[in-house]
Structure 1
Amino acid sequence: MTLACERETLKLALLAQAGLSDAERYPLPGDASTRRYERIIARDGRRFMLMDQPPAFESQPCDPAWSAEERHAQGWNAIARLSAGRIEAFVAVAEHLNTLGLSAPAIPVLDVANGLALIEDFGDDLFARVIEQGADEEPLYLAAIEAMVTLHEAGLPPSILKGSAGDWPMLVYDAVALQGGADLFVEWLPKYDNRVAFDDAAIAEWRTAWAPVVKAGAEGASVMAHRDYHAENLIWLSGRTGGARVGMIDFQDAVIAHPSWDLHSLLQDARRDVSSALEAKALDHYFALRPSVDRAAFMASYAGLAALNEARIIGIFARLIARDDKPRYAQFLPRMWAHLNRNLQQPALASVAAWFDKYVPVEVRQ
């Protein structure tokens, strides 16, 4: 039996368990992950999403006890402290978010061992889509800030989330993960663009230049970060109030991180333009809701970690194009270069900017 046939048999069993054997099924387009979704519409009109994440498709998630060396030996999920798509991670984070009054999907039926879950369907009103259809983006982004503030004001999450599908550790987005993400740039950009090449000396200088940013990010880790908080992962739930109007998905890789992480993910988005005026208004809203935060110190880390994240994402997109033959990600590179170039103008990032001036020609950075 092929893997596709095996997965189909397992999905049919899950749907039968839920009383949905005769439901209509509509596969959704895939993304950059190994996870797939189907919309399930029951005969009585009830709607669900079927999440399919084969556990064998991913390397091992990070054991909290592993050293930096062990993490590098185990692979990318361990380095970056990704969940490896584990259903128990999704469930534990979803349940934690819901206890805070935020909106994560309910999960009525699970097959943890086989990586399957039937989850609440939040509909199609992704922030990015409703804005494309003419909705005013400002109320959506300010609501996303309010949801984020709820999460940040809750402070450190438990070190172990007790989920109904199993416990899941809340790990820190630490120096190994931050530097590992940045290093995707020097690893993969030359494989995508032959105008650049980085020898051992260049890579050593790269890590030295980023060291203060990495240190600040690791030491400032103090809140749960969604880690992929942007307009393609937020769904407008107009019937709810406050931060609960923001339906969250794709949060299974949540970690304890610097509070700026989700902010710059939202406001310096890879996939859509966010105006500088809206970014400023959203930041003002964040600091108004968190008056005890030292804005100047926070914004120094915001710029540095945003730049690091943009370098990381450029590396990821280069990998998706060069290794995985997904050329559509090239369309996002100019936007990421624009974000990165703007952040590199900050005086605190002078060493990083000097590295780019030395090793990455201006014509590449656009």
Structure 2
Amino acid sequence: MITASDDRAKAILQWLTNDLNLNITQFESASSDASFRRYFRVLHQQQHYIVMDAPPDKEDTAPFIKVAQLFSEAQVNVPDIIQQNNQQGFLLLEDFGSSCLLDQLNDSTVEILYKAALDSLITLQKNVDIHSCALPHYTSELLQTELLLFSDWFLNQQCKLTLSDAQQALIQTTYAFLIDSALQQTQVCVHRDYHSRNLMHLDNNNPGIIDFQDAVIGPITYDAVSLLRDCYISWSDAQIEQCLQPYYQQLKQANLVECDFNQFKRDFDLMGIQRHLKAIGIFSRLNIRDDKSAYLGDIPRTLNYVISISQGYPELKDFHAFLVDIVLPISKRVL
């Protein structure tokens, strides 16, 4: 007898068995993510499927459905949507299994797995027409809103840091510098969370791409830096450059970038700082607002990226000093 743990899960089971006439012989939690969505793995006639549970008052299934179609047409591997119940916020999806890139990455696999992931990324960037895809744009307002997550949730709430006027001015100047860098880059389709937990390891057509519903038109380095400077696993600068160089060459051949590699690397580095500041803010918000403290363990790695990369840019000298002298000692106490 299959049992459900709560009302939403019961409603999913009713939808699968009564409306879709499936014979469900297994029903278990597959994962939850940093949003209000949950995923269940179900078994019907020896075939596994995933059910997305997106409560309509908190999540909208429409962007997921739209982007799934867009990505599929762009010839990257996303799960097929088999059935949908948009009123209740349920989707029945193809199951990519439970092994993500993070589970498979080590020194001997990193090059081949990242090559496959970057090849998929190039395919996406080449095949999505940014003028007709009707995705929202990464505007300066959106980039600023994301950066403010770092100030509001990490500095103010997690670290209990009261900023002086000079510190606030420094942070605003830094944010403006990072936003300018992001907006002057080539704009392409951006997955926006392209990292080792959202890329599933498959036997063929690897990787399987998930969690793409927040896709936008934005800076060309955004997804590459999400992948190579991952909040959940870190690699040496030499390893990152080894992956980044051939990716840049492919972009150049596809006429997606015109700049030289040094400029591309600068764009990549500064984009990474923007993303990592946002991620630190989100990890703090997940802890404080959503009672998900597990993500706090990923802040030191992510903050370390910001500190080490900012050291290489004279424009970020004062911000780097602020992080090292003030933020780092506090973060070691509160994390």
Q: TM-score scaled by structure 1?
A: 0.81
Instruction: Give the deviation of 1:21 after TM superposition.
Output: 3.9
Aligned to 2:48: 47
Instruction: Give the deviation of 1:281 after TM superposition.
Output: 1.4
User: Given the superposition, is the C-alpha separation of residues 35 and 209 from structure 1 closer, same or farther in structure 2, using an over 3 Å criterion?
Assistant: same
Instruction: Give the deviation of 1:26 after TM superposition.
Output: 1.1
Query: Of 225, 230, 236, which aligns to 2:201?
Result: 236
- In the TM superposition, what whole-angstrom CA distance separates every residue of 1:289-327 from its partner, at most 9, and x where no partner exists? 122432222222211111111111111112222333322
- In the TM superposition, what whole-angstrom CA distance separates every residue of 1:193-237 from its partner, at most 9, and x where no partner exists? 23x322555334312222122023134361111100000000122
Whether the 8 Å contact between 1:172 and 1:256 is mirrored in structure 2 is yes
Amino acid at match of 2:51: L
User: Given the superposition, is the C-alpha separation of residues 361 and 23 from structure 1 closer, same or farther in structure 2, using an over 3 Å criterion?
Assistant: closer
* Mapping 1:268-283, distance limit 5 Å: 268-283=229-244
Q: List alignment gaps of at least 5 residues for structure 2.
A: none
Taking the aligned partners of 2:27 and 2:108, their CA distance within structure 1 comes to 29
- In the TM superposition, what whole-angstrom CA distance separates every residue of 1:327-353 from its partner, at most 9, and x where no partner exists? 222211110111111110232542562
Aligned to 1:334: 300
Count of residues in Structure 1 that have an aligned counterpart in Structure 2: 322
Aligned to 1:257: 218
User: Given the superposition, is the C-alpha separation of residues 352 and 323 from structure 1 closer, same or farther in structure 2, using an over 3 Å criterion?
Assistant: farther
Pair 1:112-2:113 in alignment: no
SS in 2 for 1:28: strand
Pair 1:182-2:126 in alignment: no
Query: Of 10, 19, 35, which aligns to 1:17?
Result: 19
Whether the 8 Å contact between 2:70 and 2:128 is mirrored in structure 1 is no
Taking the aligned partners of 1:156 and 1:289, their CA distance within structure 2 comes to 18
Taking the aligned partners of 1:18 and 1:342, their CA distance within structure 2 comes to 53
SS in 2 for 1:350: helix
Aligned to 1:103: 77
SS in 1 for 2:24: coil
Instruction: Give the deviation of 1:31 after TM superposition.
Output: 2.6
Aligned to 2:97: 123
User: Given the superposition, is the C-alpha separation of residues 174 and 139 from structure 1 closer, same or farther in structure 2, using an over 3 Å criterion?
Assistant: same
- In the TM superposition, what whole-angstrom CA distance separates every residue of 1:25-52 from its partner, at most 9, and x where no partner exists? 111232321000000111x211110000
Taking the aligned partners of 1:109 and 1:323, their CA distance within structure 2 comes to 33
Whether the 8 Å contact between 2:311 and 2:317 is mirrored in structure 1 is no
Aligned to 2:37: 35
User: Given the superposition, is the C-alpha separation of residues 9 and 249 from structure 1 closer, same or farther in structure 2, using an over 3 Å criterion?
Assistant: same
Q: List alignment gaps of at least 5 residues for structure 1.
A: 58-84, 162-168
User: Given the superposition, is the C-alpha separation of residues 135 and 142 from structure 1 closer, same or farther in structure 2, using an over 3 Å criterion?
Assistant: same
Aligned to 1:148: 121
User: Given the superposition, is the C-alpha separation of residues 365 and 347 from structure 1 closer, same or farther in structure 2, using an over 3 Å criterion?
Assistant: farther
Whether the 8 Å contact between 2:24 and 2:43 is mirrored in structure 1 is no
Whether the 8 Å contact between 1:205 and 1:355 is mirrored in structure 2 is no
More divergent stretch after superposition (342-351 vs 282-291): 342-351
Taking the aligned partners of 2:13 and 2:228, their CA distance within structure 1 comes to 37
Q: TM-score scaled by structure 2?
A: 0.88
Cα-Cα RMSD = 2.4
Pair 1:8-2:6 in alignment: no
Aligned to 1:212: 177
Pair 1:300-2:266 in alignment: yes
Taking the aligned partners of 1:197 and 1:116, their CA distance within structure 2 comes to 43
Instruction: Give the deviation of 1:16 after TM superposition.
Output: 3.4
Amino acid at match of 2:235: V
Taking the aligned partners of 2:323 and 2:62, their CA distance within structure 1 comes to 44
Taking the aligned partners of 2:71 and 2:79, their CA distance within structure 1 comes to 10
Taking the aligned partners of 1:18 and 1:100, their CA distance within structure 2 comes to 30
Instruction: Give the deviation of 1:138 after TM superposition.
Output: 1.7
Whether the 8 Å contact between 1:41 and 1:47 is mirrored in structure 2 is yes
Taking the aligned partners of 1:352 and 1:15, their CA distance within structure 2 comes to 60
SS in 2 for 1:109: strand
Identity %: 27
